[in-house]
Structures are given as structure tokens and as C-alpha cells.
Amino acid sequence: MPTTTQLAPQFDPSAIESAVYGRWLDAGVFTADRDSGREPYVIVIPPPNVTAVLHMGHGLNNTIQDVLIRFERMRGREALWLPGTDHAGIATQNVVERIFAKDGRSRHDVGREAFVERVWHHVHQTEGTIIAQLKAMGFSCDWTRTRFTLDDGYSAAVRHVFVTLHQDGLIYRGHRVIHWCPRCHTSLSDEEAAFEDTSGHLYHIRYQVVDPGETDPAFVTVATTRPETMFGDIALVYHPEDDRFTGRSGLTVEIPLTGVRIPIGTHTAVEREFGTGMLKITPAHDANDFDIANTILPNAPHPVILTEDARMADDERVPASLRGLDRFDARKRIVSMLEASGQLGRVDPHAHAVRYCYRCHTAVEPRLSDQWFVKMQPLAAPALVAHHRGDVRFVPDRWGKVYEQWLTEIRDWNISRQLWWGHRIPAWYCEAAGCDHITVSERDVDACDACGGPVRQDEDVLDTWFSSWLWPFATLGWPERTADLARFYPGHTLVTAPDIIFFWVARMVMAGYYFLDERPFDTVYMNGIVRDPQHRAFSKSLGNGIDPLEVVDAYGADALRYTVVAGAAAGTDVIMDRGDMDATFAAGRHFANKVWNLGRFILGNLDGAPAPVGALDTAQFELADRWILARCQRIAAETTAAMERFRLNDAVRTVYHFLWDDFADWYVEQVKPRLYGEASGGDVARAILCHVFRTALTLLHPFMPFVTEELWAHIPGGDEPMLAGAAWPTDNPALADEEAETRFARVRELISAVRTMRAEYGVPPAATVPIVTHPATLDTTEAFNAEQRTIERLAKASGLDLLGPMTGVGAHAVLGDGTAVFVPLGGAIDVTQECARLAGERTRLEHQIERVAAKLANLQFTERAPADVVERERAKEHTWREQCATLGDKLRALGC
């Protein structure tokens, strides 16, 4: 039988964590069984990017998933938590490009094949670290099913999707203005080019009118934030009802600095209030201009005057002196050139939103090009219906609005990226003369579908989210109709952060309905974002991040998990202070230690395995026994209810306070005399200690799996060898006992009242003090006879005795039910000395009050006495008077 000597007095997480995790793996408790017949419960992990190792945000997100998975597994469901990682196309490519950049090499110097090979190397490295991190935090993923969004099977799924959507007419090749990142050299989706408020200038530029008539002006002025794009202008337009420009339509103007001639036209999309009301149309470098150009000049060319890295193009439309200049340098040069030629008007400061690349934060360049797009509207419709019907819901539900808004205003999705790292687009262009057929195929082809001519595969890869959106089913073997897919799709809960609702959540719902005709999950639980004390999100550049492994090493995985769960209601951000890690993780660490020591205490006081509670003679139960069993039963029900409502923070706090405040502070203390043989009933106490502690360990296990699992191995009486596989406590109405709860609450109140009096009157801890309760309320009732014993026991544990008449020198208190408690103090303290001390204290206070009263009287006559000063002095006076009154009561009690 284990004894306390086997457990260290302080919980040392590092001493047990890896061994405990090893036992879980050996027992296979994390592996979902296809054939169990149990109702499945499935969570797919939001696959972390292989770009970098995990941070605290992942710690939070995955802890919540693990809590849910362990909870459902213990409740008897076939729980599958499917792990994996995301190849994170553009992000990962950037990381590796930076590695090469250190040697001054670009990816083009290295070549596609060698570059991709180097990326794989990086991926294997970080993937290993990520999985080690997940294990260190105790996550119960089914590692036998680990996937990667770029593994072979997954690629097959991606190709199948591309081909299917293409056949269904939902994927098409489009020629339009897209967001282009000049640094990453790729196009981006709308979501990847995020708006950011930027302060710039609004430049007023004069376009010379060619051969003006008598009533025509010599020039028209256009306001633009981007003068450098004017060489790509093909027209100027104004609103057809704008009186200021009546009759100008049809005139010709010259683009400044080049003299290229363009017409003036009208279009209703022009905002009359903005700028001069005259808009320049640059179809190749502005999406709106592109649309306008197509309506007013459908056959006009769309000159591209910026290169892929956003320099002025080597083009005849661009003045020779500007060619090759960076767009922002060119802007400055152009402005001074315009100034010199007298064609620059006002320059106003102008705040506007500019899109930036979400991966490298370069200002995105709108650029005309050919890309692959997904037609989204048909996919979005079922996803909207699903939310309306409640088939997919959000926790907290306000995020549903965000989801709906995006789906309602959805636009086509640009899915092609000019990158090397990712799923290569399965499209082949025919190179035969006169054939422009594109072959789209799941398998590699070497001949054109249409003419049999030679083909060349599209160089581009797919948006990384084009693979992520298949995660809930591609990970289960789809498009094969695997047994896993049949059993574990659809899933249940998705746990993620709100910032990827568009990127990922909504798209998964769309893909789920389109390809499997079923939702991928029923609930989307939104966790908050982990921030620093200045409420900034963690980021590498700020250096404010916290490495979960660091935390696990210093405080233990259980402390980390407790901290993030207790600190985060659904959807609220979690603040963590890197500068004060001790304070941040104190509560969790202290609690783990408390639980550990409870285990130590119980083990140290066992005498063989105790009988199961069911086998005990309830007639031998004392009040405290009945109370703790009832309380335990109530807490189990409350915890379960909180879990079902996704109130994980409430659930863990409930268990925390039960274990600490009820079980440790009251039951364990009450039971000590019995355990030590000073009172009878030790065997009953031991049995109940084990039973309640085991139940509490079970309730706590999803949150703090390591310490609970380790103790489970030592505490006798569990049916299951491993807590991770044990059953969640079920309702046991037989143990409910409201009467015991009420009566024990009175006992607690009595003891607390006595303790307070002892503390207030300075009774030395070693001194024994008799207490008396008023006979009218407690003494005469039947119930009190039973309580009397408990009170005596608890009183003894607190150094109290229940004796003596309710007269003489002493303190009293009245409890909530009207019971009067009297503590004779004569024998415990030197009354004369205490009186002198209290009287001295009172005199001091009285002097202070006199002074402040005088000050207030003065202030009354002082004009413009600061109100806050008066307020403060009044408050002081009030507090002191109250303290004075209390002292008076005490002095009277002592008979002085």
C-alpha cells in the first residue's frame, strides 16, 4: 500500500508528466475505435501552420478541445480528436525564402525543385516540434490518425475537389484585377489582403484638354491618391448628372508628362462629392476602374504599367526617366515633375484604407491578371440555411452574425497563387498551335484532352485554404468512402478563434454541404485571443509571446491548462503577462499542488483499501459524511451542466472550490480525529474520503489530466485502471441530502463566527476557549444533539471547547438563523491588558476624529474648497467613527 513517503510533499509536474503521457499512449486510450458501437464525438484540430512552433494561443485553443474531448470520452462516447498540421502555403514559403535570403539568395536562384525540397525539410522539423508541444500539454489526440494538408491522400482529395468544381462550372479561369503582393509575388484572395487605415495624400492633377472649344476649359483636374498609376489611365469620367462638367463628355485630354490622349466619359459610379468629381480610369490597377472601363470602353486595352514587383514598367506609356523606379519613389518623382510642369494642384492629407498582404504586410497592388476563381454564391447558400436552421451554431452566438454577413456578401474566391509551395493546380494548357484548350484532371496528363497536343501544367499552386476547407472529411480518407468517414463524419465541435471565420469556418461548412451533403460540425466554439497586458495580440515582432513549453517546464501542463480555461469565458480574450509569469500561473500551480497534497494526506491515512461507499452502513454516517456526499453529488451535476453549456470556466471553478473549500478545508479537517483514532468511525471516513476524492479527480481530469491521473493510480477503489478511460460521475439521487447541507452550513457558520471572535480579541492560537450557544434555538431541538457532536469535533480541531454558562466577560455573535454564540474570554486572554490596549486604540482614534472634524469645520468656511478633499476627509471621519464604535462594543463585552 502506498504511503506518503512515495509522494513528494510538493507536486513536481516534470517528475510525472512524460511517464503519465506514456501510459496513456501505451493503453491506447486516445485511439478512436471505429467498431465500438458507441456514439461518436469528433473534433478536428485546427491544424497549426508548420511555419513555426506553437504559442500560447494554440495552448488555449487546444486545451479547450482536449477538455471537451476528455469529457465526452469519459461520458462514454467514442471520442476522436483528429490532429494534424497545415502546409500554410504562402506563410511557409516566406519563412524558407527568408532562410535563403540570409545567404543573399532568392528562390529563383535555388530553383523550384530544390526550393520545395528545402521547405519539406523545414516542415518536418517544425512538425516534430509542434507534435512534441501538443503532447507536452497533455492533449489526447488520436496520433494514429495524424494528417498533413499536403500528404499524398490529402492531395488526392484536393485534386478531386478542383476537378469536381470545375466540371460543375464553379471553378473558372478569370481575367480581372486581383490583389497582388509585390513582395510575395503572388495574387491573394480578398480575405488575405486586409484593409488598414493609412494616412496618405490626395493629389490634384491637371489633365490638359486637347483642342478645347471656346466654352471648354484648358484643363480638368482629377484627384487621386495614386499619381503613379496615371500612365495606365484610359479615360476620365464624371457623374452624368454632375452640372459642373456638363458637356465635357467626349472631350479628349492628355495624360500629364506623356501626352497620351484619353477621352472623357460619364459613369454613375462616380461619387460627386469626392475630390473634384472627376475620376481617372486605370483599368489594370484598380478593380472598380476595371469594371467602369468595361462598360464605357469595352474594347479598349488595359495597359499594365507596373511590374510584378511594383516598379514602373519598361513601357512606352511610362516616361523613360521613371522606368524601373519603385512605385513609391516614382510617386515622389512624379509629384515634383508635375509641380515643375505646373500640372499639380492642391495636395491634401487624406486618410484612407489600404490593403496589405496578411503575410508580409506589404501594400497590396491591384493588378490585372489571369487567375482561377471559385464561384461562391452556390456554395454559400446551404451554409446560410444551415445557420438559419440552427444546424450550425456559434458559441457565443453573436459570431453567427459575422458568419452570415460574409456569406451574404460573398464574392468569388481567387484560389491560384504564384507560389511554389502548395498543391499544384491540376490544369494543363495545350501548346499546340490554334488550340487553347485547358485539360483539368485528377491524374497527371501529358496530352491535350481536345487535340492530343503537347501540354504544360499550370505553374501555380492553390490557396492554402483551398485544402484547409476540406479538413473535416479529407482527413478521414475522402474521397474514398472509408470506414472512418462513415463513422466519424459529420463531426461535432469546432474550436477556433474568430479571426478565421471567413478563411476557414465558413468555407468548411460550404465544402461539407457541397461534397458530403452534411454539416462538418454542429457547434463552433469561439475561443478568445491571447494578448499581453497592453491588449496586443502575441506576435514574434513584439517579442511578447509565451512559449507553452516554457510554461510547462516552469509550472506544469496542468497549471497552464487551468490558467487558460479558468481565465477564459467563451469568446473572451485572455490576458497573459510575460513579465510576471509567476502571478499569471500561480492559481493553477497552487491548485495542482493542493490536489497533490490532498492525495498525499488520504494515502497517508489509509489502512488498506476501504470498503466501497455503497457497502457502508449509512446509520454510521455523521452529519459531515452525509453533507460531503450530498455536496459531491451536487457538484458533479453542476459541473456536467456547465460542460454541456460550454461554460468550461464555470465547470473548472466549480470543481476547484469543491475540492479546496469544501473537501479540504472542512471535510478533511472534520474527519481528522476519526482518522487518528481519537474518535470512532475512522473506517467510514476513509471510505468516504476515497470515494469523494476519486469523484473529484474524475471531474477535474479533463482540465488537469496529469496530476489527477497520477493520483488515480494510487488511490484505491477505482474500477478503471486509467482515469482517462474512467466513467464520468452519473447522477446519484440517493446521495442528495438537503437537510445535511443546510445543517452543515450552520455548523460552518458557527465555527467561522468563533474564529472571527478569537482573531478579533487576540486569543492566542494555543489557548482553548469554551463556547456557548443559546439554548433556545439549538439546544432543545433533536437535530442539535447530532450536530452537537460535530460541532464539538470541529471545535476541538480548532482548539475550542463547548462548555460553560453564557454569562460573564466574553464576545458574542448572532448567526444567520438567530442562534446566539457566546465566547467567554476570561480564561483565554488577559482581560485587563486587552482592555488597556483597546482603550488606547480608542483614544488614538478619538484624537484623529477631533482633528479631522476641525479640518472639516475650517474647510466649510474656505471658499472653493476642493470637493474631493472634503469628500476624502468626510470618508475618513466616517470610517474612524465606525471603528470607534466597534471598539466601544468590544470594551463593553470585556466589561471595561
Judged by CB under 7 A, the chain residues 241 through 300 that form the site for RNA are 269-275, 277-280, 286-288
Residue selected from 135, 600, 701, 842 as contacting RNA according to rule CB under 7 A: 600
| Residues in region 800-819 near RNA by CB under 7 A | none
CB of 548 to RNA, least distance (A): 18
Residue selected from 100, 120, 143, 406 as contacting RNA according to rule CB under 7 A: 406
Residue selected from 325, 360, 516, 587 as contacting RNA according to rule CB under 7 A: 587
Residue selected from 593, 639, 698, 773 as contacting RNA according to rule CB under 7 A: 593
57 vs 37: CA distance, rounded Å: 35
| Residues in region 722-761 near RNA by CB under 7 A | 752, 755-756, 759-760
Residue 516: closest CA among 161, 80, 47, 82: 161
CB of 504 to RNA, least distance (A): 13
Contact 501, 28 (CB under 8 A): no
146 vs 150: CA distance, rounded Å: 12
> Strands 438-440 and 461-462: what pairing?
unpaired
For 705, other C-beta atoms within 10 Å of its C-beta total: 26
Candidate segments 5-13, 17-25, 81-89, 608-616, binder of RNA by CB under 7 A: 5-13
CB of 876 to RNA, least distance (A): 12
Q: Closest CB to RNA among 447 and 569?
A: 569
Taking CB under 7 A as the rule, does residue 796 contact RNA? no
The dihedral region occupied by 506, where left means phi > 0, alpha psi between -120 and 50, and beta the remainder, is: alpha
For 142, other C-beta atoms within 10 Å of its C-beta total: 20
Q: Closest CB to RNA among 117 and 678?
A: 678
Residue 375: closest CA among 426, 405, 413: 413
Taking CB under 7 A as the rule, does residue 377 contact RNA? no
Q: Closest CB to RNA among 86 and 228?
A: 228
Residue selected from 41, 115, 420, 502 as contacting RNA according to rule CB under 7 A: 502
CB of 570 to RNA, least distance (A): 8
Residue selected from 332, 352, 389, 844 as contacting RNA according to rule CB under 7 A: 352
| Residues in region 41-70 near RNA by CB under 7 A | none
Residue selected from 5, 10, 215, 860 as contacting RNA according to rule CB under 7 A: 10
Q: Closest CB to RNA among 190 and 458?
A: 190
| Residues in region 670-709 near RNA by CB under 7 A | none
> Residue with C-alpha cell 461535432?
492
Candidate segments 206-214, 450-458, 646-654, 838-846, binder of RNA by CB under 7 A: 646-654
Q: Closest CB to RNA among 156 and 500?
A: 500
CB of 389 to RNA, least distance (A): 20
Taking CB under 7 A as the rule, does residue 468 contact RNA? no
Q: Closest CB to RNA among 190 and 309?
A: 190
Q: Is 643 exposed, middle or buried (0-12, 13-18, 19+ CB in 10 A)?
A: buried
Q: Closest CB to RNA among 27 and 745?
A: 745
432 vs 480: CA distance, rounded Å: 35
CB of 584 to RNA, least distance (A): 8
Q: Closest CB to RNA among 261 and 874?
A: 874
Contact 623, 743 (CB under 8 A): yes
CB of 238 to RNA, least distance (A): 8
> Residue with C-alpha cell 500554410?
88
Secondary structure (DSSP) of 235-272:
EEEE-TT-GGGTT-TT-EEE-TTT--EEEEEE-TTS-T
Taking CB under 7 A as the rule, does residue 443 contact RNA? no
570 vs 537: CA distance, rounded Å: 17
Candidate segments 454-462, 476-484, 593-601, 822-830, binder of RNA by CB under 7 A: 593-601
292 vs 287: CA distance, rounded Å: 9
For 577, other C-beta atoms within 10 Å of its C-beta total: 14
- In 755-816, the DSSP E strands lie at 769-770, 772-773, 800-801, 810-814
Q: Closest CB to RNA among 55 and 239?
A: 239
| Residues in region 602-621 near RNA by CB under 7 A | 604
Q: Closest CB to RNA among 370 and 499?
A: 499
- 469-472 contacts at long range (C-beta below 8 A, 24 or more positions apart): 469/504, 469/507, 469/508, 469/510, 469/511, 470/154, 470/157, 470/158, 470/161, 470/508, 470/511, 470/515, 471/44, 471/47, 471/84, 471/149, 471/508, 472/44, 472/508, 472/512, 472/520, 472/521
Q: Closest CB to RNA among 409 and 436?
A: 409
Taking CB under 7 A as the rule, does residue 597 contact RNA? yes
Taking CB under 7 A as the rule, does residue 353 contact RNA? yes
Q: Closest CB to RNA among 315 and 749?
A: 749
Taking CB under 7 A as the rule, does residue 11 contact RNA? yes
Q: Closest CB to RNA among 198 and 457?
A: 198
Q: Closest CB to RNA among 128 and 533?
A: 533
Residue selected from 25, 260, 363, 586 as contacting RNA according to rule CB under 7 A: 586
Residue selected from 224, 467, 496, 639 as contacting RNA according to rule CB under 7 A: 224
345 vs 143: CA distance, rounded Å: 66
Residue selected from 316, 665, 731, 817 as contacting RNA according to rule CB under 7 A: 665
139 vs 609: CA distance, rounded Å: 32
**Count of residues of this chain found to bind RNA when the rule CB under 7 A is applied:** 74
553 vs 576: CA distance, rounded Å: 17
Contact 306, 367 (CB under 8 A): yes
Taking CB under 7 A as the rule, does residue 499 contact RNA? yes
Taking CB under 7 A as the rule, does residue 4 contact RNA? yes
371 vs 348: CA distance, rounded Å: 36
CB of 798 to RNA, least distance (A): 8
Secondary structure (DSSP) of 419-453:
-SSSPBP-EEEE-STT---EEE-SS--SS-TTT--
Taking CB under 7 A as the rule, does residue 653 contact RNA? yes
CB of 465 to RNA, least distance (A): 14
CB of 705 to RNA, least distance (A): 17
| Residues in region 95-114 near RNA by CB under 7 A | none
Contact 467, 446 (CB under 8 A): no
| Residues in region 195-214 near RNA by CB under 7 A | 195, 197
> Residue with C-alpha cell 492554402?
464
Contact 425, 395 (CB under 8 A): no
82 vs 89: CA distance, rounded Å: 21
| Residues in region 525-584 near RNA by CB under 7 A | 531, 533, 535, 567, 569, 572-575, 583
- In 497-581, the DSSP E strands lie at 523-526, 530-531, 574-575
Contact 471, 500 (CB under 8 A): no
For 829, other C-beta atoms within 10 Å of its C-beta total: 19
Residue selected from 402, 679, 853, 896 as contacting RNA according to rule CB under 7 A: 402
